[in-house]
Structures are given as structure tokens and as C-alpha cells.
Amino acid sequence: LLEKVDKAEKKENQIQVEQRGYFPAITKGNDFAVTIEELGHNGDGVVKIEGFTVFVPNTVVGEEVKIKIVEVKKTIAFGKRMN
């Protein structure tokens, strides 16, 4: 049942993306292993993934973390640390 819900949510996200007319390289729910490159204005860690600027709270520059994408906008995204 959980797998069906996940598939339905991913399909809904893709439909919303297609309606906006662009296809981001990352989508909500993607997992990545990243190294934080810099800090944003609000103190969140910042990393570039496939052209997207991804903000990750509670991280520091140089830290290697696993993240999950929780929100995707046109050119930026927001992730949460998983470790």
C-alpha cells in the first residue's frame, strides 16, 4: 500500500511539473549524497545539484551528508539531512 501511495505522489508531482512547462533534473523525494559548498544568507548549507541550488538546513561548509529533496521550485530546491 505504501508503495502505491509513493507512486501516486510521484505521478502527481510529475503532472504538476509538466503543467508548469519545465522538467527539473531533480524531484521531490530524490536522495543525494552531497558535500555542502557554502552557506546561504539564512545560514542554511548550499549545494549545487544538476544546475539546481539546494538549501539544506543544519549543515556546515565541507560537511558530507545524505539529503532528501523535500521541495522543488523552478531553479532552487530544499533538502533535509538524513544522517
Which pLDDT tens digit goes with each residue over 21-74? 555 678 999 999 999 999 999 999 999 998 889 999 999 999 999 999 999 998
4, pLDDT greater than 80: no
**How far is Cα 25 from Cα 52, in angstroms, rounded to an integer?**
8
pLDDT at residue 83 in the model: 81
Give the model's pLDDT for residue 50. Answer: 85
* 11 pLDDT above the threshold of 90: no
Answer whether 0.95 is exceeded by the pTM.
no
Phi then psi for residue 21, to 5 deg, are: 90, 20
State the pLDDT at residue 51: 84
User: What is d(CA 47, CA 63) in angstroms, rounded to the nearest whole number?
Assistant: 11
Q: Sorting pLDDT into bands at 50, 70 and 90, what band is 8?
A: low
Cell of 54: 539546494
Handedness of CA 14, 20, 16, 54 (dihedral sign): positive
Closest CA to 73 of 27, 31, 7, 29: 27
Q: Which H/E stretch holds residue 45?
A: strand 45-49
